[in-house]
Structure 1
Amino acid sequence: MKTPRGDRALRIGLLALFVLSGGALSGCAPEGTAAAEAAEAFHRDVAGSDMTAACSLLQSKTREETARSSDAGTCESQLKKAQFTGPGRLLDTEQFGRNAFVEFENDTVFLAASDAGWKITGAGCTPNGEEAPYTCEVGGK
């Protein structure tokens, strides 16, 4: 059983991985609540089948990877295939410099700040143990 301190260290480590893999961008970081709003908007768009709007909330690299993983070659078609569940209640939002994660009851969303606001780098993420801390429906690589 993991302790809250262990979970926090795991999240910080994963955020550091995003930074090292190009998740960090230059400029001023928006407020942490904006990250939660972006994550909530993504889930609203997916639930409402507005995959174009949902794809626009993905960081460009994540959007491109999502499109490449689709049989049809589009971000929208891959999001339609993804197995998203309702996120549930918002539990926590943490920001570490230009990166953030938003934890819901049934999902964790990872984000990076950009000039256009918070963009999603991983969504539909669930804890997966120590070696691969999270498995994500979209992004998270």
Structure 2
Amino acid sequence: MSISRWCRATLVAALAVTTGCGAPDERTEGASAAATGFTEALQQGNGRQACALLAPNTLEELEKSEQTACDQAVTQEELPAADSVRNVDVYGDQARVVLTGDTLFLAHFPTGWKVTAAGCTPRPEQPYDCRVKGG
């Protein structure tokens, strides 16, 4: 391989890594929108809408642990009031969205971003402690 071809190949590889095939902003915005949609639904007392934004395993675990339907269980959790997005970290199909008042974790599914954990607080040198999470 010639030097110029090698440079072009390296440049293309570097661009693919840094741009994520042209979608990092879309992924960040999608995760952010799902997280704020979830917290807004909770603030409005709309458990049905909040549950629509939960990942399947998280919804199932919530219903199982609370022994009631998701729309009732999610509002009973009394998750922290969250406001504006402070930071979004996307790692492939996983994301962490830090809001004023709460931290949520999300996963990307064919139907879009879904909340896998909410009501999460950091712990020194340990995983986050989350009030709502999948099994």
Q: TM-score range by the shorter chain?
A: 0.7 to 0.9
CA–CA distance in 1 between the matches of 2:33 and 2:111? 14
Residue identity opposite 2:41 in structure 1: D
Listed as ranges, the gaps of 5+ residues in structure 2 are 1-22
Residue identity opposite 2:128 in structure 1: Y
Residue identity opposite 1:135 in structure 2: D
CA–CA distance in 2 between the matches of 1:88 and 1:129? 24
Number of aligned residue pairs: give it: 112
- Please name the residue that 1:32 is paired with: 28
Query: Which runs of structure 2 are paired with 1:112-123 in the superposition (5 Å)?
Result: 112-123=107-118
- Please name the residue that 2:72 is paired with: 77
Native 8 Å contact 2:104 2:118 kept in 1 = yes
- Are positions 1:127 and 2:127 aligned together? no
> Which one has a bigger Cα radius of gyration?
2
- TM-superposed CA distance for 1:140, in Å, is 5.7
- Please name the residue that 2:43 is paired with: 47
CA–CA distance in 2 between the matches of 1:50 and 1:105? 20
- Please name the residue that 2:63 is paired with: 67
- TM-superposed CA distance for 1:83, in Å, is 2.3
Higher helix share: 2
CA–CA distance in 1 between the matches of 2:129 and 2:85? 19
RMSD, aligned α-carbons: 1.9
1:30-71 Cα shifts (integer Å, max 9, x gaps): 521110000000000000011011001001011000110113
Native 8 Å contact 1:62 1:139 kept in 2 = yes
Listed as ranges, the gaps of 5+ residues in structure 1 are 1-27
Query: What is the identity percentage for the equivalent residue pairs of Structure 1 and Structure 2?
Result: 32
Higher strand share: 2
- TM-superposed CA distance for 1:103, in Å, is 0.5
Native 8 Å contact 1:123 1:140 kept in 2 = no
- Are positions 1:93 and 2:93 aligned together? no
- Please name the residue that 2:5 is paired with: none
Q: Which runs of 4+ in 1 moved over 2 A?
A: 128-131
Q: 1:106 pairs with 92, 101, 108, which one? A: 101
CA–CA distance in 2 between the matches of 1:88 and 1:58? 18
TM-score (norm 1): 0.73
- Please name the residue that 1:13 is paired with: none
CA–CA distance in 2 between the matches of 1:65 and 1:140? 6
